[in-house]
Structure 1
Amino acid sequence: MAEHDLSEPKMASAQTAPVVIGGRRLTIEEVVAIAQGRATVALTGDAAWRERIERGAEFLRKHLAAGATVYGVNTGYGDACVVGVPPELVEALPLQLTRYHGCGMGRYLEHAETLAVIVARLNSLAFGYSGVRGVLLERLADLVNLRILPRIPAEGSVGASGDLTPLSYVAAALVGEREVAYDGQLQQAADVWAQLGRAPLVLAPKEGLALMNGTAVMTGLACLAFARAEQLTRLAARLTALCTVALDGRAAHFDALIFEAKPHAGQAEAAAWIRADLAGRHDAPEQRLQDRYSIRCAPHVIGVACDALSWVRRDVENELNSANDNPLIDPDGERVLHGGNFYGGHIAFAMDSLKTAVANLADLMDRQLALIVDDKFNNGLPRNLSGATPERAPISHGFKAVQISASAFTAEALKLTMPASVFSRSTEAHNQDKVSMGTIAARDCLRVLELTEQVAAAHTLAAVQAARLRLAMNPQTTLTAPLAAFVDEVSTVSAFVGNDRPLEAELRALTARIASGTLLGTHGEGH
């Protein structure tokens, strides 16, 4: 991941309608838009929703006043649930929870990741089953809209009893403790609230637990992972089409009937993308009868990822639109329900599965790249796609090192596909004795995505170079409008490689565009 950026986060345009929180389901695309600074949030103005939120908090107050015992409100936490908390200490308990969980380690979440986490937590609490006050939801919305971003360490959650340690940094920001990124620099949270003329929030009895005892970190990260994986499926299809042209391959491999005969929806969708990018291309009798698997079977590889994304969306959006803390407060039936909705099993499995599908995209693109640079297999293109003049050809190596680096990125991505969810650890005095590892799975998935985006950037530069070389070699070769536009767009980042030159800066720039969704203009808004 990139280093933690302290520059001022991007703010949404004043003309952009805010994403409404409360009384409705949130989509992955809305979370991504907020995380990328293309949208703000606004709590719904619906009076019935606001009344229900306050009614939940008021019921909890009355329930406690009547002498009831509620986990984490007038008991200790976790295995210490058997320890009663005297009434005079109940108000102090939430702050204690936020403080002793301040032990995260590892890299700090990036701004987009932090925003996604806050939105996921806000949306969960807005379903009205957590017994929190409206003011808490308003302050969470302030963190998003004012870009007061807690500095959240990525490591320290086992993903059941929620993302306790990383979410403690969100709670701490609200109460004026620890560091936040604000106005382009790291500041103490208390100082930021003072600058804004506000007092830090004083947490009500269950609010520390409600903030921390949920799946918001894994879910926020999963939303970002989904969008990036979706973009990679589309890019892999486009690069397959471009490689088909560059290798003088066969468009017939993507005929619709082939995919009607084996009706996996994602496979058919990937083939349709490739077909559209090759529209009008005619195969010649002298062409190789069958292209190699990495070209011919590309829809079958990409299609697995496409189909996986359909159920990954279902599970991520269900988690996003759930009350996932414990206990739940039922303001309508006036009940306190002790359960395990903080368990992140669905996110864990989704992220473990998605990172495998994405790693297969890395492997596919790496194999295609290996084909187009190798003059034994690339049907007449120069060795290593060198664009050098004949005089300098003997000392020119074109994309040789790029292919080696892409192979390294791919190997690392493949190595990281070991599922995290099967490595449950019994912890916290065997109270948390079966845990999801969902946040580790989500972080692993993001790392696999990062490596795959690097493979995609390397492959993109090489495929564009190969297409330009083929066009120069064969005047009868043409590009469809989508492929021509794509080649032109990539060329604004990296010009044709004639004489050998370092390509790191161009690879980094292109990788960033792929990760943000701007190369294909998707912005995480679907195919």
Structure 2
Amino acid sequence: MPTTVSTAAPVDLAAALRRDDLRRAATPLPVLAGEEVRARVDRGREYLRSVLADNDRPVYGAKTGFGALVGFAGRAQEADQCDNTLAHLGAGQGPDLPADITRAALLVRTWSLARGVSGVSWHVVDGLAAMFATTFVPAVPRYGSVGASGDLIPLAYAAQALRGRGHAYVDGERLPAAQALDRAGLVPLILDGRDALALVNGTSLTTAATGLALDSVRAAHRALGDLTCLLADILGSDPGFLDARLITAYGHAGATDVAERMRAVIAGTVPSGARPLQEPYSIRCAPQLLGAAEDALRYVDGVVAADLGGVSDNPLFFPGEDLVAHGGNFFGQPAAYAADVLAMVTASLGNLAERQLDLLVDPTRNTGLPPMLAAGPGRQHGLQGVQLATTALVAEIRRAVLPASTQSLPTNLHNQDVVPFGTQAALRAYDSAELLRLLCGSLALGLRQAVHVGGRQPTAAACAALFDTLADAIAPVDPDRPLDADVRLAADLVTGTRS
């Protein structure tokens, strides 16, 4: 029997796949594969059978070897051709991927196969759909994909686990895959060569990791707009840097929209008159920086939406046109660019959060609050450790921001002579997004502490509500205590997400 019964709203494979479905796939989730889906999958499968019966029609991966060995015949038996597809791809290394990435990747893969143009067996789609109602997660190593010809190596580990080979998790416990399937109430998938190739020959892992990273960065982006308003309110800044006429004259749609939202958050604030005419850029230019980030994130939104709505596989089968189309729809270049952009946005947002916290703990710039926001400087150290950690987090994000999409290396006997490295870009963006979330939590904790050590209570209603949320959950730092858990809690509160 399945280990968990879900009451979540189902994902219908006949409908569009949404970005929030990726996040929801981390926990048991009903996935519906109804008659409409079955009809088109069966039609594609029947067409494949007719093509395979024609000895004069080549079909990559069903009748041939793989990659650079396409010029050689594959194995004669379908079951053997499945092993021919998957066995050599068991070359991944490194720690297992997080469960949310692996399950999201399989949801993207399932939706692509459900379009009916991959020629897979119906029981493959049906079996994948059944998996999502359980806590089953294939154990997939992090390293091995170049984001072209599909995420071959990681998806091969997933396919093998679904066959009962390798390892998998159930309820968070790592087990031999056959034992995990049995505990989850799942039947091992039986695959032929085409089924196996279709499972691995798409960039679903790249798409999933990019989509999950995008959700996290978007949450942090919204949080930083709110926290900037709270910072300005606590310090007593004049909100004129958000003036609608000023921002409209700037001419950028993202800045216009971000500033409009920030004006709603800071509405009602009363300037203290104690701040300089022009605030440091980390406050004054925040709508321009956050606005540019918004413009860039909208580009990433579009790429992820296109990936979620497209078919990533090779070859594709079109029965109505009697066409077997061999090409490169497994090439993850769009997501590679998008994930690289996401990494750059993350670095800029992380820098903003760190600079705002630095301003807040500095008595020469924070309108006279004690250094490091310590309740008793010298006897206590307030946010000093947190501020040190934010420096390290920003450095880590910066170290990882080198674009992966420009690092192409030829491989596979020059069959894959250009590759996008989208998987590397996406996983790096996912990791950096979590560090950004912690930077938001660090800033939020500083703002909570600032009021305790003499900063004014927020005067804008929305800022006051945000502060109260933080203050109700997090005690002042007085006396000193370890603050690692408080940073994580603050990050949860202001981003609305958990790591």
Please give the range of the TM-score, normalised by the shorter of the 2 chains: over 0.9
Q: How far has the Cα of 1:263 moved from its partner?
A: 2.8
- Distance across 1 between alignment mates of 2:185 and 2:495: 43
Tell me whether 1:42 sits opposite 2:32 in the alignment: yes
- Confirm or deny: 8 A CA contact 1:180 1:188 kept in the other structure: yes
SS state at 2:118 partner: coil
**Structure 2, gaps ≥5 residues long:** none
Q: How far has the Cα of 1:267 moved from its partner?
A: 1.1
Tell me whether 1:376 sits opposite 2:367 in the alignment: no
Tell me whether 1:414 sits opposite 2:398 in the alignment: yes
Could you tell me which residue of structure 2 aligns to residue 6 of structure 1? Answer: none
Could you tell me which residue of structure 2 aligns to residue 440 of structure 1? Answer: 424
* Cα shift readout 1:423-442 (whole Å, capped 9, x = no counterpart): 11100111011001000000
Identity of aligned residues (%): 36
- Distance across 2 between alignment mates of 1:117 and 1:147: 15
- Distance across 1 between alignment mates of 2:58 and 2:284: 64
Tell me whether 1:83 sits opposite 2:88 in the alignment: no
* Cα shift readout 1:30-84 (whole Å, capped 9, x = no counterpart): 222223x3743222x2x34321210111111121112122111110000100001
- Distance across 2 between alignment mates of 1:39 and 1:231: 23
Tell me whether 1:275 sits opposite 2:267 in the alignment: no
Q: How far has the Cα of 1:104 moved from its partner?
A: 1.1
Could you tell me which residue of structure 2 aligns to residue 210 of structure 1? Answer: 198
Q: How far has the Cα of 1:90 moved from its partner?
A: 4.0
Q: 1:336 to 1:483 in 2, by over 3 A?
A: same
Tell me whether 1:18 sits opposite 2:2 in the alignment: no
- Confirm or deny: 8 A CA contact 2:45 2:119 kept in the other structure: yes
Could you tell me which residue of structure 2 aligns to residue 4 of structure 1? Answer: none
- Distance across 1 between alignment mates of 2:287 and 2:184: 53
Amino acid in the other structure paired with 1:337: A
Tell me whether 1:97 sits opposite 2:79 in the alignment: no
- Confirm or deny: 8 A CA contact 2:16 2:309 kept in the other structure: yes
Could you tell me which residue of structure 2 aligns to residue 401 of structure 1? Answer: 385
Could you tell me which residue of structure 1 aligns to residue 61 of structure 2? Answer: 72
Could you tell me which residue of structure 1 aligns to residue 434 of structure 2? Answer: 450
Task: From 311, 315, 320, give the equivalent of 1:323.
Answer: 311
Amino acid in the other structure paired with 1:230: R
- Confirm or deny: 8 A CA contact 2:268 2:459 kept in the other structure: no
SS state at 1:419 partner: coil
- Distance across 2 between alignment mates of 1:479 and 1:122: 50
- Distance across 2 between alignment mates of 1:311 and 1:273: 20
SS state at 1:410 partner: helix
SS state at 1:423 partner: coil
Q: 1:121 to 1:74 in 2, by over 3 A?
A: same
- Distance across 2 between alignment mates of 1:429 and 1:29: 39
Q: How far has the Cα of 1:89 moved from its partner?
A: 3.2
Amino acid in the other structure paired with 1:29: D
Could you tell me which residue of structure 2 aligns to residue 504 of structure 1? Answer: 484
Q: How far has the Cα of 1:286 moved from its partner?
A: 5.1
- Confirm or deny: 8 A CA contact 2:314 2:330 kept in the other structure: yes
- Please give the residue correspondences for 1:110-189 in structure 2 after superposition, counting only pairs within 5 Å: 110-189=98-177
Task: From 437, 450, 455, give the equivalent of 1:466.
Answer: 450
User: Is the deviation greater in 500-509 or in 162-171?
Assistant: 500-509
User: Is the deviation greater in 320-329 or in 261-270?
Assistant: 261-270
Q: 1:399 to 1:196 in 2, by over 3 A?
A: closer
Amino acid in the other structure paired with 2:196: G
Q: 1:245 to 1:194 in 2, by over 3 A?
A: closer
Q: How far has the Cα of 1:334 moved from its partner?
A: 2.3
Task: From 216, 227, 231, give the equivalent of 1:228.
Answer: 216
SS state at 1:106 partner: strand
- Confirm or deny: 8 A CA contact 2:6 2:29 kept in the other structure: yes
- Distance across 2 between alignment mates of 1:109 and 1:356: 23
- Confirm or deny: 8 A CA contact 1:114 1:150 kept in the other structure: yes
Could you tell me which residue of structure 2 aligns to residue 29 of structure 1? Answer: 20
- Confirm or deny: 8 A CA contact 1:105 1:153 kept in the other structure: yes
Q: How far has the Cα of 1:10 moved from its partner?
A: 10
Could you tell me which residue of structure 1 aligns to residue 352 of structure 2? Answer: 364
Could you tell me which residue of structure 1 aligns to residue 328 of structure 2? Answer: 340
Q: How far has the Cα of 1:329 moved from its partner?
A: 1.0
Amino acid in the other structure paired with 1:20: D
- Distance across 2 between alignment mates of 1:332 and 1:203: 25
Could you tell me which residue of structure 1 aligns to residue 470 of structure 2? Answer: 490
Q: How far has the Cα of 1:230 moved from its partner?
A: 0.5
Tell me whether 1:294 sits opposite 2:294 in the alignment: no
Q: How far has the Cα of 1:98 moved from its partner?
A: 1.6
Amino acid in the other structure paired with 1:31: L
Instruction: Give the TM-score of the pair, scaled to structure 1.
Output: 0.90
Question: RMSD across aligned C-alpha pairs, in angstroms?
Answer: 2.1
Q: How far has the Cα of 1:248 moved from its partner?
A: 1.8
Q: 1:402 to 1:327 in 2, by over 3 A?
A: same
Could you tell me which residue of structure 1 aligns to residue 341 of structure 2? Answer: 353
Instruction: Give the TM-score of the pair, scaled to structure 2.
Output: 0.94
Q: How far has the Cα of 1:11 moved from its partner?
A: 5.8
